[in-house]
Amino acid sequence: MSLFPCSLCKLRKPGKLANAYWAWFNQDGSRSAWRVRLCLGCAPEHLATLVSNSQLNPENSSVFACVSCGADASEDSSPMYCTLYLPKQEPTEYAVQLDSACAVRLQAMISTNAERLPDRGGVVRGPSPDTSAWDAIGLSPTDRLN
């Protein structure tokens, strides 16, 4: 019997659960992160977007095609990120390209059923103000301005 219940069906089932850690950036730039625990019965439906994402043929699909509905998301991109831990397997990371309508639906399902993770306090880093040995080759942005 699993120690924790499945996030979707709310039942404790035999065996270990999969853990999907989802994250995305909100309109205000803040990061939202969630953990979804999944039993074997609920995992296929919840992870269908990841299966669609991994089956894309890069030669025949646009980088900005929504993996959920196939619409062009180049002007309406809302990517989501997932690290998936399946029992007895190494973690797998996914970057899932979605349009905003599909992202909102997936985010609502996740935030309704999952456990919100605390803010790690991470910030998006820009270029370092320090100089390094790499600056000597003449490719830093300040070299191009002079």
pLDDT digits (tens, 9 = 90+) for 5-59: 999 999 999 989 999 999 999 989 899 999 999 999 999 888 888 876 665 555 5
Using one digit for the tens of pLDDT, what is the confidence trace for 97-136?
999 999 999 999 999 999 999 877 655 444 445 555 555 5
The pLDDT value recorded for residue 84 is 94
The pLDDT value recorded for residue 49 is 80
The pLDDT value recorded for residue 125 is 45
Average pLDDT over residues 54-71: 69
Residues 6+ apart with CB under 8 A from 68: 49, 52, 98, 99, 102, 105, 106
How many helices and strands, by DSSP H and E, does the chain display?
A: 4, 5
For the four alpha carbons of 80, 108, 47 and 115, in that order, the dihedral sign comes to positive
Question: Is the confidence at residue 140, as pLDDT, over 50?
Answer: no
Question: Is the confidence at residue 67, as pLDDT, over 80?
Answer: yes
